A and B are shown apart, each in its own frame.
Chain A
Amino acid sequence: MLSQFRTIWLVLKHTFTKADTVEYPEKKPYLAPRYRGRIVLTREPDGQERCVACNLCAVACPVDCIALQQTIDDDGRKRAEFFRINFSRCILCGFCEEACPTYAIQLTPDVELAEYDRQNLVYEKEHLLINGVGKYPDYSFYQQSGIAIKDKAKGAGAQEKPPIDIKGLMP
C-alpha cells in the first residue's frame, strides 16, 4: 500500500523536473568531437589521399562491412581503387579507426545515418572522402615510411639517412 503511494508521489514529482530528452531533430544534442558516428576518409595536409588501401580496417571490422581494392598509381602511391562501406551493417564500433596506420579512416560525430532505401547506405569512396585532415592535422604516412614516391626520394623521409652508395668502398 505504502509503495503504491510512493510510486504515485515519484511520478508526480517527475512531472516538474526538467526533461532529459530533447526535441530532436529541432534541437540537436551535444556530441563530443570524438563521438563515433559516420566514417570518413581524410586527406594529408597537402591534399593527397591518406588511405593506402592496406586492408587493415577491413580485417578489423567485426561485421565485415568494408571492402576495398588496392591500386598503385603512376606517382608510386598506393590508393584504393574502390572503397566501400556498407553503413547498413556498420555498428560504428571504431575498430577501423584504431586499426588505420595512416589516420585515413576516422569516425565523425555525425550520427544521422537514416535512409528510406537501404541501398543508399552503401557509401563508395567518393562519398567517404572529405577535403580535410580530420583529427590529425600534421600526419603524412609517406613521410614516415621508407618507400619512395614521386615527390619523395629514398632517404628524404623523416628520420632517414641518405641512401647508401653501394659502389662505395668505405666500410
Chain B
Amino acid sequence: MTFDKQNSQVTIYIDDQPYQVSTDNNLLAGVLSQKLNLPYFCWHPSMGSVGACRQCAVTQYQDENDQRGRLVMACTTPVTDGMRISLKDSQSEQFREQVIAAMMTNHPHDCPVCAEGGECHLQDMTVMTGHTHRNYQGEKRTFNNQYLGEFVGHEMNRCITCYRCVRFYKDYAGGDDFGVYGSKNQVYFGRQQEGQLESEFSGNLVEVCPTGVFTNKLFSAHYARKWDLQSAPSICAHCSIGCNTSVGERYGSVRRVMNRYNQAINGYFLCDRGRFGIGFVNGEKRLRQASGIRQSSPERLSKLDVSKALVHFRGKRFIGVGSARASFEANYLLKQFVGNSKFSLGLTERQMQLASLHQQYLSQYQPVSIADIEQSDFVLIVDEDITQTAPRMALAVRQALRNASIEKASELGVPHWQDSAVRTIGGQELSPLYLIQSMGTKLDNVAEQVIMQSTAATIKLLNLMTELITSNAPLIDIHHQGQQLSSLLNQLVSAKKPLIIGGWSRQSPQLLSAIMSLLDVLTKADMPVRSAIVAQEVNQVGAISLLDQQSLSVEDILENVKQEQSSEVGGIIFLEQELSGVSQTQLEQLKQTQLAIIALDHSENAVTALADIVLPAASVTEGDGHYVNYQGLIQRYYQVHPNRLPIMDSWRWLTLLATTLFAEHPLAKEAQSLSQLHDDCRQYDAKWPMLPLDDHYDIARESHRTSGRTSKTANISVHEPKTTQSTDGYRFSMEGSKPSSTAEMPFTWAPGWNSNQSITQFQQEVAGSLLLPMTTQYLSIAQSIAKYCDHSEAVVQTSQANALQFSQQIKWYQGDWQAGLTPEFTLIESTNYIFLSSDYASQQGWQSGQWLQVSCMSSKDNAPTSVIAELFFDPRLSDELCYGQLNELATFDVKQVSLMAASEKQVADYKMRRKAEHTKAEQAQQYMLERLKQQDQFIPIRLMNGGLDDV
C-alpha cells in the first residue's frame, strides 16, 4: 500500500492531554502511535480499516465545553487538527467492554488447549477492556472445523468474525480458495471444500487472526507457550529476500518461526516457506556426528582428534567450494585459506556467467527494497516466477498494483486506509503489471498483459525494446506483438516509479544481459527506473561478491581433479554445498578421485555421501553469522539455542581446520566468537566490508516469565546447571538487559500486549520504522569477474520431430534444498502436470485431464528420460511451448520434451508410487515427532558456548 506522506503532524487532545499525531493515518493508528492502549480487532496496520468489529470506540467531543460527546470508531475516523477525544470516559469504556462481552458469548472455554493462549490478541483486548466475568448463561454456537492442509489448523468455534483472515487471504494476498460464508451468527470462514490452502501466504492467517481460529499445526504438534520459547533474531534462510524472523526453541529443539517486523523488508508478513520450512533443522537428514575422524574418547570429538586426522595433508593445497547458503564469514574464510585461484562456489560455467552479470548489475544499481516495491506504479516481471522463488516480493508487487485505486480514491477524498471504500472505488482498476514469461504464474490474473513465450523469444523482445527506446522508432510495424508492446513501452516510459524484476531461475545469462541493457538505456534516458534481480539462495549476493577472475567453476574443478597427479592439490573442502547443479557422472568423477574430500554441512546430501571426512555444521538456528540479501543488505542471524557438539558453526570448523591445514595463514587461529573473528579479519584485510560488531550487551533470549528453570534438567541431575555462557551478546537465560535497538529484540512483547501485534509499541508510528532501528549496512560489490560476453548459444534446435520447449515450474516448497528437507513439505499433494496449448493438444487428439508420457531431453544425463504427467490446457501458449511441473526432475534443467499418451498401467503405477511416497512422508513426520519428544527430556548441558573443547 502506498500513499503520499504529507507528514503533517497536528495536535489532538486525548483525555485533555495534547499529542502530536499524523494526519496520514486514522485516529486508531494515531492513538496507538502514541503508545496508548486502545483495543481493536478488525483493523490491521497493513490492511487498513473496515470498521467491522466496533471495538475501537472512543468518545469525540465538539470542543472543550462539550461534556457529552459522541461515540466514534477510531479506525474509521480521520485525524483532524485540534480534535478532542477521550479513551477513559465511562461511556466509551463501557461500550468497549460490552463489545467484548458480546464476542465472548460464543467464544469457547478452551484457552488451556488453544495454541494461541498466552499470545492471543483477544485475551489481551479482553483484559484491556476490563471484561472479567461472563454474564451470558445460554448455549454457545458451534461449528465443525475443516482440514486446511498440513500447516494451518482450524477451530471455528473461537471465531469473533473480525474478517481479518479473509481480508488478508483474498484481498491482500490474492488467494481465491478461502472465503466467508453464511450470515448473522453463522458466519463461517473457510474453504468451499476441505483441502490444502493454496496460497503461499496461508501461514500468515496464524498471525493475522486475533484469536486461535487458525493455528500453526507444526507448532501445535510439538507445542510450547510463547513465554517458554527461547528466541533470537534470525534471518529466513530460504530465499534471497532475507526476511527477518524470530525463531523459538524449547528443550533443545526448534519449535517455530514468527515474523519479526522490519519495515523495509518483510513488514508484517512471511511466506509459508519461511514460516514452515524450518523443520529441516530437526530433520532426519541432519548430520549430528563427524565421520571419517577417529575419536580418542567415545564420548566426544576433541580438537586433537581433528588435527590428527588432517595432519598428513599439511602443506598441500586445497580447492575450496563455498556456497550461497553458508554465511558470509564462512565463505570469506574459505576463500582466504584456499587462495583466490582455488576458490569456487560450485557454480557451473553458465552460472558463473550469471554471477558475473549479477556482480556487474549490483555494482551499477541499487536494487529496490520490498517496501519500495509497494510504491511502484508500473511493474514488469521478466521470466521469473517470483510468486514461487521469492514469494514475499510477489506479495509486495500485489500491493503495488493497488496504487491505481488508492490514487483514484484519494482524488475523491477517500483516504488510503479506508480499505473497503478504496476497494469499492477502485473496482478492478490496478496499476499496470506486465509479465513476459514462459509459464503461467499466480500473478497472471492481476496482470494487465501476459506475454507468454519462450525465453529465447523474451531475450529478442527485450533487445528490441532496448533498441526502440534508444532509437525512438515506432514499433507497430516491426513486431507482431506491436500493439501489446507499444502499450507496455508507453506505460514504462511514462511511469513515475517503474519497476523491472528479473532473476536467476531461467539460468540464462542472455536474459539477464538483455534485462541489464534495457535498464542501461532507461537509466541513460534519465528515467526513474528501479529494479530487482532475484537470486536463488539466501546468501547468493554475499557469496558472488567474493568471486573474482581466478575463481573456479564446477567444470574447472573437475578439470583440476583429472590432473590431480600433476598438481599439488591435496583435496577439496566443500562448505555447505550440495552441488545441485552437477550431474551424476560428474559426481562419479569426483568420487573416483584420490583427493581427500572434506565436507561441512548440516544435512546429508550427495556431497557428504562421497566425502572422506564429514563435519557437522550448524544450521541457521544454532549458528551465528551474516547473510547478504538480494539488495546487498548485510543482516545478522543469531544463535537461538546452544549447538550440540560436535555441531559447530562453519566458520569455527574452518578456523579449526586451518590451524592444521593452513597453519601459516594469519587467520589460522581459532576464534572464540564471531566478533573476535571479525576483528581478526579486519586486521588482516583492509577491505573487510563489515562494521565492527557490538556484542557487549547481554540481552535475554528467554522471556522474563519462562518456566521450568529448576526442573527441566532435574531428571538428569537435581543440581541445576549454570546457564550456558554465550559470546554473541545474547544470553541463554531469562535474565538480561534490554536490547539497545528494537530491531534486536529476540521476540516481540510489551506489557498488556502479548501477541505479535505488540510491535506497535516499538514503532515510531504504526507501520513505520522501529523506535531504534539497526544501522543498515550494504555490501559494496565491485565487478571482479571479466565482463560477460554474449556467446549466444544457438537456440537449441529441436532434435526430434514434435518436440516442445518446456519450462519447469518450481513450487515454493521445492525451490530451496534446505526447506525441502522438512517432512511436511513432502506431504503436500503435488502430482506431475503439464500445460499445453489447446490447439496442439486437439491436433494430437488429447483431452484435458488425460495423462501423458513426457520424454525429456535434458542436458544432464541422469535425469529420468520419461515421466507421467496430467495434461491441462493453457490457451495463451503457442504450439511449440509448454510448461508444467515434473517432480522427478525438480532440479534439472529440461529444455525440451516430447509427448505421447500414457498407458493406463503407467498411470496406475505412478499413482501407486505417489501414494507410497506420501505414506513414507507421513511416517517420517511421525518418526521425527517421536524422536523430538524423546529428546525433550535430555537437554544437553554446556558451560561455554564455544568451540569443540568447550563442553
Query: Which residues of A are interface residues toward B (Cβ below 8 A)?
Result: 52, 54-56, 58-59, 61, 63-72, 78, 81-82, 84-86, 88-89, 101-102, 118-119, 121-122, 124, 141, 144-148, 154-155, 159-164, 166, 168, 171
Task: Return chain A residues, CB-CB under 8 Å to B137.
Answer: 159
Q: Taking the complex as formed, is B113 at the interface, i.e. its CB lies under 8 A from any CB of chain A? A: yes
With A64-B708, A145-B113 known as contacts, the answer to whether A72 contacts B182 (CB < 8 A) is no
Q: Shortest 10 CB-CB distances between A and B: which pairs? A: A146-B108, A67-B708, A58-B707, A54-B112, A145-B110, A146-B157, A64-B709, A86-B711, A67-B711, A67-B712
> 10 new A-B pairs (CB below 8 Å) besides A89-B711, A145-B110?
A52-B112, A64-B706, A122-B711, A146-B110, A146-B158, A147-B113, A147-B155, A160-B139, A164-B142, A171-B186
With A72-B220, A102-B112, A171-B183 known as contacts, the answer to whether A54 contacts B709 (CB < 8 A) is no
Q: Taking the complex as formed, is B140 at the interface, i.e. its CB lies under 8 A from any CB of chain A? A: yes
Task: Return chain A residues, CB-CB under 8 Å to B937.
Answer: 82
Residue interface mask B441-460, A partner, CB < 8 A = 1: 00000000000000000000
Pair A160/B711 contact, Cβ less than 8 Å: no
Alpha-carbon gap, A68 to B250, bound state (A): 11
Return the chain B residue nearest A170 by Cβ.
Answer: B186
Pair A147/B188 contact, Cβ less than 8 Å: no
Pair A65/B110 contact, Cβ less than 8 Å: no
Pair A55/B228 contact, Cβ less than 8 Å: yes
Q: Within the complex, which residue of B117, B184, B188, B220 is in contact with A54, where a contact is CB–CB below 8 Å?
A: B117
With A84-B715, A146-B108 known as contacts, the answer to whether A161 contacts B140 (CB < 8 A) is yes
Alpha-carbon gap, A67 to B714, bound state (A): 9
Return the chain B residue nearest A124 by Cβ.
Answer: B715
Q: Taking the complex as formed, is B223 at the interface, i.e. its CB lies under 8 A from any CB of chain A? A: yes
A98 CB, min distance to chain B CBs, angstroms:
14
Q: Taking the complex as formed, is B717 at the interface, i.e. its CB lies under 8 A from any CB of chain A? A: yes
A80 CB, min distance to chain B CBs, angstroms:
11
Residue interface mask B129-144, A partner, CB < 8 A = 1: 0000000011111111
Pair B718/A88 contact, Cβ less than 8 Å: yes
Return the chain B residue nearest A155 by Cβ.
Answer: B142
Q: Within the complex, which residue of B142, B158, B221, B711 is in contact with A84, where a contact is CB–CB below 8 Å?
A: B711
Return the chain B residue nearest A164 by Cβ.
Answer: B186
Task: Return chain A residues, CB-CB under 8 Å to B471.
Answer: none
Alpha-carbon gap, A162 to B117, bound state (A): 25
Cβ < 8 Å to A, chain B residues 99-153: 108-113, 117-118, 137-145
Pair B707/A66 contact, Cβ less than 8 Å: yes
B721 CB, min distance to chain A CBs, angstroms:
13
Task: Return chain B residues, CB-CB under 8 Å to A61.
Answer: 707
Pair B711/A65 contact, Cβ less than 8 Å: yes
Q: Within the complex, which residue of B138, B141, B710, B933 is in contact with A71, where a contact is CB–CB below 8 Å?
A: B933
Alpha-carbon gap, A148 to B110, bound state (A): 11
Q: Within the complex, which residue of A71, A161, A162, A171 is in contact with B184, where a contact is CB–CB below 8 Å?
A: A171
Q: Within the complex, which residue of A59, A78, A141, A147 is in contact with B707, where a contact is CB–CB below 8 Å?
A: A59
Alpha-carbon gap, A118 to B937, bound state (A): 19
Alpha-carbon gap, A17 to B361, bound state (A): 99
B940 CB, min distance to chain A CBs, angstroms:
16
Q: Taking the complex as formed, is B753 at the interface, i.e. its CB lies under 8 A from any CB of chain A? A: no
Return the chain A residue nearest B146 by Cβ.
Answer: A166
Alpha-carbon gap, A69 to B939, bound state (A): 13
Cβ < 8 Å to A, chain B residues 681-714: 705-712, 714
Return the chain A residue nearest B937 by Cβ.
Answer: A82
Chosen A-B contacts, 11 in total, with CB atoms closer than 8 Å, are A59-B225, A63-B710, A64-B709, A65-B710, A66-B707, A121-B718, A124-B715, A145-B108, A147-B110, A147-B157, A163-B143
Q: Taking the complex as formed, is B762 at the interface, i.e. its CB lies under 8 A from any CB of chain A? A: no
Pair A69/B140 contact, Cβ less than 8 Å: no
Task: Return chain B residues, CB-CB under 8 Å to A86.
Answer: 710-711, 714, 718
Return the chain B residue nearest A161 by Cβ.
Answer: B139
Pair B144/A55 contact, Cβ less than 8 Å: no
Task: Return chain A residues, CB-CB under 8 Å to B251.
Answer: 69
B126 CB, min distance to chain A CBs, angstroms:
15
Alpha-carbon gap, A58 to B707, bound state (A): 5
Pair B711/A66 contact, Cβ less than 8 Å: yes
With A84-B715, A122-B715, A166-B182 known as contacts, the answer to whether A58 contacts B708 (CB < 8 A) is yes
Return the chain B residue nearest A78 by Cβ.
Answer: B113
Pair B711/A85 contact, Cβ less than 8 Å: yes
Pair A69/B936 contact, Cβ less than 8 Å: yes
Return the chain B residue nearest A61 by Cβ.
Answer: B707
Task: Return chain B residues, CB-CB under 8 Å to A141.
Answer: 112
Alpha-carbon gap, A106 to B379, bound state (A): 63
Pair B112/A154 contact, Cβ less than 8 Å: no
Pair A146/B142 contact, Cβ less than 8 Å: yes
Alpha-carbon gap, A118 to B714, bound state (A): 10
Alpha-carbon gap, A71 to B137, bound state (A): 32
Task: Return chain B residues, CB-CB under 8 Å to A84.
Answer: 711-712, 714-715
Q: Taking the complex as formed, is B227 at the interface, i.e. its CB lies under 8 A from any CB of chain A? A: yes
Pair B109/A146 contact, Cβ less than 8 Å: yes
Q: Within the complex, which residue of A54, A65, A124, A166 is in contact with B113, where a contact is CB–CB below 8 Å?
A: A54
Pair B112/A161 contact, Cβ less than 8 Å: no
Task: Return chain B residues, CB-CB under 8 Å to A54.
Answer: 111-113, 117
Alpha-carbon gap, A88 to B720, bound state (A): 11
Alpha-carbon gap, A155 to B141, bound state (A): 8
Pair B188/A164 contact, Cβ less than 8 Å: yes
Q: Within the complex, which residue of A64, A144, A161 is in contact with B710, where a contact is CB–CB below 8 Å?
A: A64
Task: Return chain B residues, CB-CB under 8 Å to A171.
Answer: 183-184, 186
B267 CB, min distance to chain A CBs, angstroms:
31
Q: Taking the complex as formed, is B927 at the interface, i.e. its CB lies under 8 A from any CB of chain A? A: no
Q: Taking the complex as formed, is B3 at the interface, i.e. its CB lies under 8 A from any CB of chain A? A: no
Cβ < 8 Å to A, chain B residues 164-222: 181-184, 186, 188, 190, 220-222
B938 CB, min distance to chain A CBs, angstroms:
11
Q: Within the complex, which residue of A63, A70, A85, A160 is in contact with B140, where a contact is CB–CB below 8 Å?
A: A160
Pair B144/A154 contact, Cβ less than 8 Å: yes
With A65-B710, A146-B157, A163-B144 known as contacts, the answer to whether A72 contacts B108 (CB < 8 A) is no
Alpha-carbon gap, A121 to B440, bound state (A): 64
Task: Return chain A residues, CB-CB under 8 Å to B144.
Answer: 154, 163, 166
Pair A55/B707 contact, Cβ less than 8 Å: yes
Alpha-carbon gap, A71 to B221, bound state (A): 7
Alpha-carbon gap, A52 to B220, bound state (A): 13
Task: Return chain A residues, CB-CB under 8 Å to B220.
Answer: 72
Task: Return chain B residues, CB-CB under 8 Å to A67.
Answer: 707-708, 711-712, 714
Q: Within the complex, which residue of B113, B142, B181, B224 is in contact with A52, where a contact is CB–CB below 8 Å?
A: B113
Alpha-carbon gap, A84 to B223, bound state (A): 17
Return the chain A residue nearest B111 by Cβ.
Answer: A101
B109 CB, min distance to chain A CBs, angstroms:
5
With A69-B251, A147-B108, A164-B182 known as contacts, the answer to whether A122 contacts B714 (CB < 8 A) is yes
Task: Return chain A residues, CB-CB under 8 Å to B145.
Answer: 148, 154
B363 CB, min distance to chain A CBs, angstroms:
52
A88 CB, min distance to chain B CBs, angstroms:
6
Pair B708/A66 contact, Cβ less than 8 Å: yes
Task: Return chain A residues, CB-CB under 8 Å to B711.
Answer: 64-67, 84-86, 89, 122
Task: Return chain B residues, CB-CB under 8 Å to A160.
Answer: 139-140, 142
Pair A161/B142 contact, Cβ less than 8 Å: yes
Alpha-carbon gap, A52 to B223, bound state (A): 12
Task: Return chain B residues, CB-CB under 8 Å to A146.
Answer: 108-110, 140, 142, 155, 157-158
B161 CB, min distance to chain A CBs, angstroms:
13
Alpha-carbon gap, A63 to B718, bound state (A): 14
Return the chain A residue nearest B181 by Cβ.
Answer: A166
Pair A154/B143 contact, Cβ less than 8 Å: yes
Task: Return chain B residues, CB-CB under 8 Å to A124.
Answer: 715
Return the chain A residue nearest B225 by Cβ.
Answer: A55
